[in-house]
Chains A and B, each alone.
Chain A
Amino acid sequence: MELLRYILRRMILSAFVVVGVTFLVFIVAQVVPSDPAALYAGPRPTAEQIEKARQELNLDAPLPARFATFAGAMASGDFGISYKSRRLIAEDLRAYLPATLELAVFSTGLALLIGIPLGVVAAARQGRWPDRLGSLGSIAAVAMPTFFLAMLLQLVFAQWLGILPLSGRLSREISIAAPLPVVTNFAMIDALLAGRLDAFVDAVKHLILPALTLASYPAGVAMRLTRSAMIEILERRHVVAARALGLSEPRILFGHALPNAMGPALTVIGLSFAYALTGAVLVEIIFAWPGLGRYVSEAILAKDFPVIAAVTMVVTICYVAMNLLIDIAQALVDPRVALS
């Protein structure tokens, strides 16, 4: 019952946030830029062309009316057309969003897989070398500029060792010579659906470096949060009690203490997901990954505001939805959350 009320409350708050986000994006994308009509009209527009664009974009209407139109369009999934390519933005999103989500999901998984066990070990060996080494590594991971790490990884794994591809999402041998039928736009899933093991392996290989780049910062944060949570938990009486009851040390660490640290772990999922979604802008450029990040970075150079606004909206809504799911998961893992 408390849980239900809690979930409802979170959902209402999220809906409110989405409205606020829409408003903010509207202001930044449609009001701040000096003259969207000139941009819309194309290169070197005449006065008539600009005037026509003004009418087409409804720029002369009062602000509240313009916002209503904007919000209505966003809600119905109509993101308008790109100034630059004149293509429907919604179609572009369908092509690019899966690539970015693929990256985000894998890097988040990687971050948790690396960060949480390291945090547990560091807490269990507090003050000794595994802890010091791990803490140093996590600080370095957090301070590392994403774009620099991406280039370092390319240098080592693609250039020197030659074991992973430098960039792209699929090799030419696959994407051009024997292309996959596009079903979901998730390369791995499409490869499996087509029963193409070679394409699947190829897709995974291409994913490793960009996912690793995006995982480094959240893995560092995950390690630190897990470590500090575990140190606090390991001092609690129920851990002492578990020892006194003769439970083995790994059982205590992973079976008893770690479930209490699920709160921070879930926090990291949200953080990591957000980081992947935004870091994608940098990482996708460097790894030539055909996702939202590269799409938006091209739009930035062209001042293609409808595209920038659409991507910001979609990504932010993904992020808000993710946070909502995490809040609910927190309450399910720890029944006391819903009570506070």
Chain B
Amino acid sequence: MTKLVHRLGWPGTLALGIVVLFVLVAILAPWIAPYPAQGAGAPNVIAKLRPPSADYWLGTDHLGRDILSRIIYGTRVSLTNGVLIVAFSLLIGLPVGLAAGYFGGWVDEALMRGTDVFLAFPALLLAVLMAAALGPGFLNSIIAVAVTWWPWYARLARAEVLVLRGQPYVEAARLAGVSHPRIILRHILPATGRPLTVQAALDVGPALLTAAALSFLGLGVLPPTADWGQMVDAGRKFFPARWWYSAMPGLTIFIVALAFSVLGDALRERKGGAARASH
């Protein structure tokens, strides 16, 4: 514990704690939600739009469902969203970046100019266009964001490979006639993988934020599945008179995104790396 605090500093440790807490909440949702059925979507019409109270700590929504339970269930959607967006993006971006950096020449030129096209879009707009074309839904919204997200990893992976490619042991392997796929798998991927994984883990926060924006626009999961962004949007009709409906899920998104952000800063500061503005 003290070692952790020493490495991350107090804010970083606290942020890590919050992230871990939310992961636990997502896993344990049915057991810790005060009203699991409502969390999963069952209406409770006798208690519509109640303010926060002892029974409903964070109030209820327009169908009388406990907002705390909805938020707890929504954790599952939001975290999976964030993780899957990043995972899909890595799945596309990593091979593209590896190939571009390793082979260089026209392969590099073609792949990176293609990447430029994706980066030329204001990210959220492309995601909106994608999501609209695919139709709303959990998986579709993830694909829509991943489409705008992967070029960052392609660039990152390429930059890492360019450094590695000049390393003597890679040169040696190449001269010894080791095949390209083997060199990439054995020598390059492991060394590129680590910094990229750290970056990707930290990107879960911003990814989740973008996914929330999409579901706020009605392009995320479909009701009755609980989702933070969609809850904020649904609560808007009752805002500001029933402020808790929008404010509670909104605050939750803010806290999670903040935790990832602080954690990222703490890690970067210790490593002395440069900050990347991702959006």
Contacts and interface: CB of A to CB of B under 8 A. Distances in A.
Interface of A: 13, 16-18, 20-21, 23-25, 28-29, 32-33, 139-140, 142-148, 151-152, 154-155, 159, 217, 221, 224-225, 228, 267, 271, 274-275, 277-279, 281-282, 285-286, 296-297, 299-301, 303, 305, 308-309, 311-312, 315-316, 319-320, 323
B122 A143 contact: no
Contact of A305 (B124, B125, B133): B133
A316 B125 contact: yes
A303 B121 contact: no
A297 to B, nearest CB: 6
Interface string B202-219: 000100010011001111
A330 B132 CA distance: 36
Given A28-B130, A145-B254, A282-B213, A300 B120 contact: no
Given A148-B232, A308-B129, A139 B262 contact: yes
Contact of B261 (A29, A143, A279): A143
Contact of B118 (A24, A308, A315): A24
Nearest to B147: A28
A154 B120 contact: no
Give the one of B132, B212, B250, B261 with max A CB within 10 A. Answer: B132
B253 interface: yes
Contacts of A145: 209, 212-213, 216, 229, 232, 250, 253-254, 257
B133 A278 contact: no
B217 A281 contact: yes
A320 B120 contact: yes
B240 interface: yes
B279 A33 contact: no
A312 B277 contact: no
B243 interface: yes
A258 to B, nearest CB: 19
Interface stretch (B34-42, B51-59, B109-117, B153-161): B109-117
B107 interface: no
Interface in B176-223: 205, 209, 212-213, 216-219
Q: Which 9 A-B pairs have the closest CB atoms?
A: A20-B117, A148-B250, A278-B124, A143-B257, A143-B258, A278-B122, A32-B133, A274-B122, A143-B261
Interface of B: 113-114, 116-118, 120-126, 128-130, 132-134, 205, 209, 212-213, 216-219, 229, 232-233, 236, 239-240, 243, 246-247, 250-251, 253-254, 257-258, 260-262, 265, 274-275, 277, 279
Contact of B254 (A148, A221, A320): A148
Give the one of A28, A301, A308 with max B CB within 10 A. Answer: A28
A145 B123 CA distance: 15
B132 A303 contact: yes
A271 B113 CA distance: 20
Contact of B133 (A23, A29, A152): A29
A180 to B, nearest CB: 29
B125 A29 contact: no
Chain B contact surface mostly: helix
A28 B274 CA distance: 34
Contact of B277 (A225, A320, A323): A225
Given A32-B130, A147-B250, A285-B217, 14 more contacts: A20-B113, A21-B120, A25-B129, A32-B134, A140-B254, A151-B239, A152-B247, A155-B239, A159-B240, A277-B122, A278-B122, A286-B236, A301-B218, A305-B132
A322 B136 CA distance: 31
B129 A312 contact: yes
A323 to B, nearest CB: 8
Give the one of B218, B243, B279 with max A CB within 10 A. Answer: B279
A312 B134 CA distance: 16
A312 B250 contact: no
Contacts of B123: 274, 278
A316 B122 contact: yes
A93 B232 CA distance: 29
B129 A17 contact: no
Contact of A143 (B209, B217, B218, B233): B209
Contact of B120 (A17, A33, A139, A305): A17
A303 B132 CA distance: 7
